[in-house]
Amino acid sequence: MSNAAKPLSTNRSTTAEPFDTERFFGVQTASNRELPNPEPMLVNLARCVLEVLAGARELDQMMRWVTEEVYTVLLRRSVLAQRARDLKGVRPHRPQVAVLRTTWSSPRDGVIEGVVIVQTAARVRAIALRLEGLDHRWRASAVSVL
């Protein structure tokens, strides 16, 4: 009997497992130990948020550091702030911001929740931020200006 007549046997299954593209190309989470100290990020994001709302900074400059949901919320708020400035006849200006205190904690690995207390010429404000370790950097997944 020749080799051509013998059926070839393989140990491989005929159904291949589907390739999980999200696992390799989607957003990758990171732990606290893989990421830098979050305090400078909290302070810088708080300043940037106030500058965006005051009309002194373009929101697009923050795109790398916030999630899509936060970007959408900040866009809506900045448009409303621009309309209010237009109605009052106030020009956009860069606010002078003094950071009074920064407090943060980690409710779980890869997540930081913090509050930055700032003083502007008009008042004292609190900016609450939630940072998540995504794609090997901190990204804000929630921002609230009080």
pTM of the model: 0.79
What digits encode the pLDDT tens for the residues 62-72? 999 999 999 99
**Two tokens, residue 47:** 């300043």
What digits encode the pLDDT tens for the residues 12-66? 555 667 766 666 565 678 888 889 999 999 999 999 999 999 999 999 999 999 9
State yes or no: pLDDT of 9 exceeds 60: no
CA distance 133 to 36: 10
What digits encode the pLDDT tens for the residues 97-132? 999 999 999 999 999 999 999 999 989 999 999 999
Q: List, in sequence order, the alpha helices (H) in the chain.
A: 21-25, 39-54, 68-88
The alpha carbon of 123 is separated from its chain's Cα centroid by a whole number of angstroms, namely 26
State yes or no: pLDDT of 86 exceeds 90: yes
State yes or no: pLDDT of 93 exceeds 80: yes
Domain ranges of the chain: 31-145
Please compute the mean of the pLDDT values over residues 84-95 and round it to a whole number: 94
Handedness of CA 25, 130, 50, 81 (dihedral sign): positive
- Give the CATH class of 31-145: alpha beta
Of 82 and 2, the structure prediction assigns the larger pLDDT to 82
CA distance 127 to 46: 6
CA distance 60 to 37: 24
State phi, psi for 8 to the nearest 5 degrees. Answer: -85, 135
**Two tokens, residue 132:** 């998540």
Instruction: Give the amino acid at 105.
Output: S
Q: What torsion do the CA atoms of 63, 68, 69, 71 make, to the nearest 10 degrees?
A: 20
**Two tokens, residue 89:** 């006849």
